[in-house]
Amino acid sequence: MAIMSMFVLFAFTGCSAHPNNASNSGSPLQTETDSVMRSAIGESLYKIIIGAKSVKAEEIILKSDPVDSVATTTVNVKSRFLPLVQFIVADPNNYCGNKTVFGKFMPCFKLTFVKKKEVCVLNFDFGLKKWNICDGNGKVIRSYDLSSDDMLRLANMLFPDNELFKNLINSNK
């Protein structure tokens, strides 16, 4: 019995839960994610998003009064959340399609990536489940479908008092 216990102990300690250092030079998932995102939006926009030193998030609230039709609240995304934002934006499924929808694109959430003097803006319409990438002047460069609710959850985390974000998350359950 003691020999059997020692054999089992040695068998389990010989197993490792970490990858081999030689095969960990570049994660296949990271390479795939980078290549999908890079080929979809181009090298220059990719470098701005991934290398951004600051990211501003805005909630856009549409008002019923035509004179004051848009109200925005802006927050700076804390540096500890930048990898999370970049991870969600880099999701390869977000670059898969751009189905035609019959509705006007009205963004309710916006991310502005700033790298030195270069600016890239991402607008999100969670009602249509669409998003687009704009240059610093607001010109739309690409539009895509949102593949998941990850960005909606991030928007809700940054703006916890926004009723639209709360209602959309609760309606998707």
Q: Where does 28-171 sit in CATH, by number?
A: 3.30.1490.410
DSSP codes joined into one string, 107-168: -SEEEEEEETTEEEEEEEETTTTEEEEEETT--EEEEEE--SSHHHHHHHHH-TT-HHHHHH
How far apart (Å, rounded) are the C-alpha atoms in residues 71 and 60?
A: 6
Q: What are 70-88's pLDDT values in tens digits?
A: 778 889 999 899 999 999 9
The structural domains of the chain, with segments of one domain joined by +, span 28-171
What is the pLDDT at residue 4?
A: 60
Query: What pTM, to 2 d.p., does this model score?
Result: 0.75
What is the pLDDT at residue 59?
A: 93
Where residue 26 falls among pLDDT bands split at 50, 70, 90?
Answer: very low
Where residue 112 falls among pLDDT bands split at 50, 70, 90?
Answer: very high
